[in-house]
Amino acid sequence: MVCAEECVPADVERENGWACLAVRGPLDFGQIGILSSLLDPLAKSDISVFTLSTFTTDYLFVKAEMLDRATTALSRAGHHILLPDGSE
């Protein structure tokens, strides 16, 4: 189960400290290679990723302490990173 840390009861086994990167969607199911283009630069930067795909988009979860490295790797690979406030 994936949810906000504050929603998990204290007695449930969990792993905290994840940051989420959302792929701007909606994505057409016929588009090929999107996830690969995101995972390759992260793998080359030794960043572990947990992915979640939905019908309309993909989400990449990285450990929070790796978020800056992850966004740098993705930016260098040509991806645009938008912050929650809409700035780059």
What are the backbone angles phi and psi of residue 21, rounded to the nearest 5°?
Answer: -115, 120
How far is residue 12's CA from residue 54's CA, in Å, rounded to a whole number? 25
Q: How large is the C-alpha radius of gyration of the chain?
A: 14
pLDDT (tens, 9 = 90+) of the chain, 88 residues, equals 888 889 999 899 988 899 999 888 777 777 778 889 999 999 999 999 999 988 888 899 999 999 999 999 999 999 998 866 666 7
The confidence score (pLDDT) of residue 87 equals 62
Domain spanning 16-76, CATH class: alpha beta
Gap between the Cα atoms of 77 and 70, Å rounded: 11
CA–CA distance, 84 with 88 (Å, rounded to integer): 9
The Cα–Cα gap between 54 and 44 comes to 25
pTM for the whole structure: 0.84
